[in-house]
Amino acid sequence: MPAVSFQHVSKTYSSPRGDVRALQGVSFDIEAGEFFGLLGPNGAGKTTLISILAGLSRATAGSVTVHGHDVVTDYAAARKSLGIVPQELVFDPFFSVRETLRIQSGYFGVKNNDAWIDELLENLGLADKANANMRQLSGGMKRRVLVAQALVHRPPVIVLDEPTAGVDVELRQTLWQFVARLNRQGHTVLLTTHYLEEAEALCGRIAMLKQGSVVALDRTSNLLAGTASTMLRFKTDDPLPAAVAAQARVTGRIVQVTAHDAAEVETLLGLLRGAGVRVEDLEIGRADLEDVFLEIMQSHSSPMPLDTVVAAARRVAA
């Protein structure tokens, strides 16, 4: 039995300008014990899908289950199996950190939970803030409390919706060490993030959404192997020749260009030399998940039927 199962999930919102399809027949399973990534650009449908999983929104069509419990017809059991860290900083300003976690335990009927609360506080760097009022905490500390709230009832499935957005490096490292440990202990983790290096390092399998449809679904290693294997990275202040600019990704002074083989690397370097482009800090390395993500998004200007998704993901470079 999968830990989480999305089957033909669609969601349509009505508006004065007509219906908006946020999700279109999304289907995939997340197996128990997986560390699974859900990626996509803004507006792809990630948060809508998680809202349906959490019971905050209802699908127009299809079904979602958590450990076999339907999120609509068996909602109490489904909710108890989930711990969700939302994007937004939502907190009650009238309680301390410890009181907040005790109240959250009570929501799930968990009694005498102080030992686990202490462990959460210690592992998330909140021990010295246990008796502080929530209003006194910084944004990063509030984020840590949200993580603790999601984990306080020891759910078998942990959903992290952009958990490190806008937080410091220390929290990111602390959070991932703790979540990775929980995953090794058997917890299933579903992660959405725009930090693709996190997804590449942590997730064994990844689904990518675009315009409400799944456009890639495979193991992370297969996605990386399926794209161009070589990436030229360098810095320059000079304008690029048109042939290079057409396939380059430019961030400030940093230029990244995909090359499929050694001959193409030589061709690109020759074009740069011929145009008099002064190159600094030239590196030749393997493509990373960000490169794969951009290539897949660009190759699917319109949603693909689900039955071609997996094959397409493995043929990205073909």
Q: Check residue 303 and give left, alpha or beta (phi > 0: left; psi -120 to 50: alpha).
A: beta
Q: What is the mean pLDDT of residues 128-152?
A: 87
pLDDT per position as a tens digit, 196-222: 888 999 999 999 999 999 999 999 988
Burial code (b: 16+ CB inside 10 Å, e: under 16) for 125-151 equals: bbeebeeeebeebeebbbbbbbbbbbb
Phi, then psi, of 3 in degrees rounded to 5: -70, -40
Instruction: Give the pLDDT band (50/70/90) at residue 313.
Output: very low
Which residue in 261, 260, 257, 284 sits closest to 271, CA to CA?
Answer: 257
Per-residue confidence (pLDDT) for residue 10, from 0 to 100:
95
Per-residue confidence (pLDDT) for residue 228, from 0 to 100:
54
Instruction: Give the pLDDT band (50/70/90) at residue 32.
Output: very high
pTM: 0.78
| Least confident segment among 127-136, 161-170, 231-240 | 161-170
pLDDT per position as a tens digit, 158-181: 999 988 776 778 778 888 888 999
Could you tell me if 126 and 144 are in contact, meaning their C-beta atoms sit under 8 angstroms apart? yes
Spatial strand order of the sheet with 230-235 comes to: 248-251, 254-259, 230-235, 280-285
Q: Is 158 exposed, middle or buried (0-12, 13-18, 19+ CB in 10 A)?
A: buried
Q: Which tokens hold the place of 207? A: 């689904």
Per-residue confidence (pLDDT) for residue 93, from 0 to 100:
79
Per-residue confidence (pLDDT) for residue 310, from 0 to 100:
36
Instruction: Give the pLDDT band (50/70/90) at residue 317.
Output: very low
CATH number for domain 4-81+155-223, candidates 1.10.10.10, 3.40.50.1820, 3.40.190.10, 3.40.50.300: 3.40.50.300
Phi, then psi, of 38 in degrees rounded to 5: -120, 110
Q: Is 176 exposed, middle or buried (0-12, 13-18, 19+ CB in 10 A)?
A: middle
Using the predicted structure, report yes or no on whether residue 134 has a pLDDT greater than 60: yes
Per-residue confidence (pLDDT) for residue 299, from 0 to 100:
74
**What is the C-alpha separation between 87 and 2, in angstroms, rounded?**
25
pLDDT per position as a tens digit, 238-291: 999 888 888 788 888 998 888 777 788 888 888 999 999 999 999 887 777 887
Per-residue confidence (pLDDT) for residue 23, from 0 to 100:
94
Higher pLDDT, 34 or 307: 34
Percentage, residues of the chain above pLDDT 70: 92
How many Cβ atoms sit within 10 Å of the Cβ of residue 173? 11
Q: Which residues contact 188 (CB under 8 A, 6 or more apart)?
A: 3, 4, 30, 31, 32, 33, 34, 35, 36, 156, 157, 158
Domain boundaries, the chain: 4-81+155-223, 228-286
Per-residue confidence (pLDDT) for residue 314, from 0 to 100:
39
Per-residue confidence (pLDDT) for residue 257, from 0 to 100:
86
Q: What is the mean pLDDT of residues 187-198?
A: 91
pLDDT per position as a tens digit, 61-98: 999 999 999 999 999 999 999 999 887 777 777 889 99
Percent composition of the chain: helix, strand, coil (DSSP 3-state, to 5): 40, 25, 35
Per-residue confidence (pLDDT) for residue 309, from 0 to 100:
36
Q: What is the mean pLDDT of residues 112-133?
A: 90
Instruction: Give the pLDDT band (50/70/90) at residue 189.
Output: very high
Instruction: Give the pLDDT band (50/70/90) at residue 229.
Output: low
- Helix, coil or strand: residue 68: coil
pLDDT, mean over the chain: 86
**What is the C-alpha separation between 66 and 179, in angstroms, rounded?**
19
